Amino acid sequence: MWETPRRIIGFFILLLATLTYIASTKDLTFAFAIGYVLLLFAWTDYFSFIIYTYPAFGAIAGFLIGNLKGLLYGVPTGLAFVLFAALTSANKERAATVVFLLSIPIALVNSYLYPVSSPINWAFIGLMVGIIENAIVEEMAEGDVFIISLYFMTLGPLAFIPTALQAFTGRAFFEKRFNNGTAYPVGPAMFVIAVPLFMLVPHLVNKNVLPEWLFYAHFHGVQNPELGFFAGLAATFLVPRLIEECSIGDPREDVSLAGGTMGAMAGLVTSLITFVLVTYLGTYLKDTGRETLALIVGIGGLFTTLLVGMVTLAMFSQLHYEGKSSIPYLAWFWSLNSIALTFSVPLLRIAWREFPTKYVPEIGLFTAVMFLMSLWDEREDFNPLTILLLEFFAFLAGIWVGFSLTGQLSAYWG
Query: What is the arithmetic mean of pLDDT over 246-262?
Result: 62
Q: How many CB atoms lie within 10 A of CB 321?
A: 13
| Residue 323 or residue 205, greater confidence | 205
pLDDT for residue 78: 95
What percentage of the chain has pLDDT greater than the value 70?
93
The answer, yes or no, to whether residue 263 has pLDDT greater than 50, is: yes
Residue 153 burial class via C-beta count within 10 angstroms: exposed 0-12, middle 13-18, buried 19 and up? buried
Query: What is the arithmetic mean of pLDDT over 141-145?
Result: 78
pLDDT bucket at 118, cuts 50 / 70 / 90: very high
* Number of separate domains in the chain: 1
The answer, yes or no, to whether residue 242 has pLDDT greater than 70, is: no
pLDDT for residue 240: 60
Q: How far apart are CA 115 and CA 212, in angstroms?
A: 8
The answer, yes or no, to whether residue 248 has pLDDT greater than 50, is: no
Tens of pLDDT, residues 206-215: 888 899 999 9
Tens of pLDDT, residues 15-53: 999 999 998 877 777 788 889 989 999 999 999 888 777
Dihedral (Cα; 22, 25, 26, 29), 10-degree rounding = -140
pLDDT for residue 254: 56
Query: What is the arithmetic mean of pLDDT over 373-401?
Result: 89
pLDDT for residue 64: 81
Q: Do the Cβ atoms of 80 and 124 come closer than 8 Å?
A: yes
Nearest to 10 by CA among 175, 163, 143, 151: 175
pLDDT for residue 251: 42
Burial letters for 162-201: b for 16+ Cβ neighbours within 10 Å, e otherwise? bbbbbbbbbbbbbbeeeeeeeebbbbbbbbbbbbbbbbbb
Tens of pLDDT, residues 336-378: 999 999 999 999 998 888 888 888 999 999 999 999 988 877 7
The answer, yes or no, to whether residue 311 has pLDDT greater than 70, is: yes
pLDDT for residue 1: 59
Calculate ∠ Cα 167-155-229, nearest 5°.
Answer: 110
Q: Do the Cβ atoms of 51 and 143 come closer than 8 Å?
A: yes
pLDDT bucket at 396, cuts 50 / 70 / 90: very high
pLDDT for residue 408: 58
pLDDT for residue 411: 45
Q: How far apart are CA 98 and CA 332, in angstroms?
A: 12
Nearest to 404 by CA among 371, 355, 366: 355
Q: Do the Cβ atoms of 355 and 196 come closer than 8 Å?
A: yes
User: Which stretch of DSSP H or E encloses residue 375?
Assistant: none
Helix/strand number for the chain, H first, E second: 17, 2
The answer, yes or no, to whether residue 249 has pLDDT greater than 50, is: no
| Residue 156 or residue 27, greater confidence | 156
The answer, yes or no, to whether residue 413 has pLDDT greater than 60, is: no
Nearest to 301 by CA among 286, 288, 313, 316: 286
The answer, yes or no, to whether residue 150 has pLDDT greater than 60, is: yes
Question: How far from 360 is each of 7, 268, 388, 403, CA to CA, in Å?
Answer: 20, 44, 20, 6
pLDDT for residue 252: 42
Q: What one-letter code names the amino acid at 65?
A: I
Q: What is the mean pLDDT of the chain?
A: 86
Question: For the chain, what's the residue count?
Answer: 414
Domain hosting 316: range is 3-413
pLDDT for residue 63: 82
pLDDT bucket at 409, cuts 50 / 70 / 90: low
Q: How far apart are CA 337 and CA 339, in angstroms?
A: 5
Question: How far from 222 is each of 32, 41, 216, 228, 319, CA to CA, in Å?
Answer: 11, 20, 11, 8, 31
Can you give the pTM of this predicted structure? 0.90
The answer, yes or no, to whether residue 68 has pLDDT greater than 90, is: no
Q: How many CB atoms lie within 10 A of CB 268?
A: 21
Query: What is the arithmetic mean of pLDDT over 62-81?
Result: 89
SS (H, E, C) 109-140: HHHHHCHHHHHHHHHHHHHHHHHHHHHHCCCC
